[in-house]
């Protein structure tokens, strides 16, 4: 097992596309590290450079203490799982799982033991004697994952391995991956553009945008205090409301007189935006204490919650998360207030967190 150090990684493809710009990552030994970002932000390129499948333009990659820049993939001792997997169609599950071990020349007794163990962990025991065409898509994907996990590499690199699964199975396999990683204690770098997956899996998450790292933090850190406006708009569903504010007499004032509690150390001379989570706002009957007048634009009832889109005279409508018991209809006049807490505040020009 080993940590992974990426130092000033830069990748420019031959056609001139810059996919990764001076990325630094320090991934701990035994860590489940998630790289999250929108399509095209450089996730796969970074992962392929770690694996040795793509040569970086500049920068260093270390696995454990070894500088691996010049090592071919097979000598880096990592296992990689891709979004599109391929099982050997003529082999039964047990032989698909055994394949990487036999290729390494492991004794047959050890092969059988390891296959049995990984089949137990991935709940594939019933499926060991079936060939891929008699497995569902989700079962095939679990076999592909198990085939990577059967080896004991120094690190696992996974590129959106759950993309082809339906929502329920995704959640199941995600839980299995998390348990397995904890059980094996092997460093894992997991790439996804799905923030729910990132939040539920990662010990830490790196948020990438246009080839750069915008933030690295625990799921709670990136949720509570996004480092940039990009992260604020990317994490959360619906994401933070970005509300233009002014500092006034120890409070923050938004449009229509909405009052927020300011964090310490706010600069006074800059245009500021507060990041307010939908659950940190409330809609009430009009005229209630500390509210500003607002109008319901739409209400989306999701069963366990209602998401209100509310117009309170700001540049953008805000989204408010409420329990399903509080019901207002579209076009109804309501009161809007901040439910409490201190929102992170951003400088509009640098787009970075200031307090």
Ligand X SMILES: Nc1ncnc2c1ncn2[C@@H]1O[C@H](COP(=O)(O)OP(=O)(O)OP(=O)(O)O)[C@@H](O)[C@H]1O
Task: State the residues that interact with ligand X by CB under 6 A.
Answer: 13, 15, 17, 19, 37, 39-45, 193
56 binds Mg ion (CB under 5 A): no
**How far, CA to CA in Å, does 275 sit from each of 205, 249, 252, 352?**
20, 20, 12, 11
Query: Residue 46 — φ and ψ, nearest 5°?
Result: -65, -45
- What's the CA angle centered on 167, arms 183 and 241, to 5 degrees? 100
What is the C-alpha end-to-end distance of the chain, expressed in Å?
A: 38
Q: Which DSSP string corresponds to 267-294?
A: -SSS-EEEEE-GGGEEEESTT-TT-EEE
44 binds Mg ion (CB under 5 A): yes
* 45 or 96: CB nearest ligand X: 45
Pick out residues in 212-231 that bind Mg ion (CB under 5 A). none
Q: Minimum CB separation from ligand X for residue 85, in Å?
A: 15
46 binds Mg ion (CB under 5 A): no
Give, to the nearest 10 degrees, the angle between helix 167-184 and helix 108-121.
130
Q: Minimum CB separation from ligand X for residue 18, in Å?
A: 8
Q: Minimum CB separation from Mg ion for residue 335, in Å?
A: 45
* 2 or 177: CB nearest Mg ion: 177
**How far, CA to CA in Å, does 274 sit from each of 33, 173, 259, 278, 280?**
29, 37, 11, 12, 12
Mark the segment that binds Mg ion (CB under 5 A) among 41-49, 88-96, 126-134, 347-355: 41-49
The torsion of the CA quartet 346, 347, 349, 351, rounded to 10 degrees, works out to -30
* 139 or 159: CB nearest Mg ion: 159
19 binds, among Mg ion, ligand X, none (CB under 5 to 8 A by kind): ligand X
Contact 24, 59 (CB under 8 A): no
* 78 or 280: CB nearest Mg ion: 78
Q: Minimum CB separation from Mg ion for residue 231, in Å?
A: 19
Q: Minimum CB separation from Mg ion for residue 39, in Å?
A: 7
Contact 132, 162 (CB under 8 A): no
88 binds, among Mg ion, ligand X, none (CB under 5 to 8 A by kind): none
192 binds Mg ion (CB under 5 A): no
241 binds Mg ion (CB under 5 A): no
* Enclosing H/E stretch for 233: helix 229-234
Sites of contact with Mg ion (CB under 5 A): 44
């Amino acid at each position: 097992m080993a940590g992974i150090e990426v130092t000033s990684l830069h990748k420019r493809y031959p056609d001139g596309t810059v996919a990764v710009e001076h990325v630094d990552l320090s991934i701990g030994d035994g860590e489940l590290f998630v790289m999250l970002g929108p399509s095209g932000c450089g996730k796969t390129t970074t992962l392929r450079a770690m694996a040795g499948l793509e040569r970086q333009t500049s920068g260093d990659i270390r696995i454990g203490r070894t500088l691996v820049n010049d090592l071919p993939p097979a000598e880096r001792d990592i296992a990689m799982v891709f979004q599109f997997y391929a099982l050997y169609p003529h082999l039964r599950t047990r032989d698909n799982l055994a394949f990487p071990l036999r290729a390494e020349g492991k004794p047959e007794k050890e092969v059988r033991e390891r296959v049995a163990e990984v089949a137990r962990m991935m709940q594939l025991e019933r499926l060991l004697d079936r060939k891929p065409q008699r497995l569902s898509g989700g079962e095939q994907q679990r076999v592909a994952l198990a085939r990577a996990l059967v080896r004991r590499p120094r690190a696992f690199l996974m590129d959106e391995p759950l993309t082809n699964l339906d929502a329920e199975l995704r959640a199941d396999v995600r839980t299995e991956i998390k348990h397995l990683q904890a059980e094996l204690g092997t460093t894992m770098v997991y790439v996804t553009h799905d923030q729910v997956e990132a939040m539920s899996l990662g010990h830490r998450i790196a948020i990438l945008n246009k080839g750069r790292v915008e933030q690295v933090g625990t799921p709670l850190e990136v949720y509570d205090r996004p480092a940039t406006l990009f992260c604020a708009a990317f994490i959360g569903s619906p994401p933070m409301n970005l509300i233009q504010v002014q500092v006034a007499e120890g409070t923050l004032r938004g449009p229509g007189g909405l009052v927020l509690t300011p964090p310490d150390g706010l600069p006074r001379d800059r245009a500021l935006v507060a990041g307010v989570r939908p659950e940190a706002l409330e809609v009430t009957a009009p005229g209630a204490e500390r509210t500003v007048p607002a109008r319901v634009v739409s209400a989306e009832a999701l069963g366990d919650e209602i998401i209100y889109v509310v117009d309170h005279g700001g540049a953008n409508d805000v989204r408010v998360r409420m329990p399903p018991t509080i019901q207002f209809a579209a076009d109804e006049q309501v009161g809007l207030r901040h439910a409490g807490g201190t929102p992170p505040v951003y400088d509009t020009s640098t787009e970075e967190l200031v307090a």
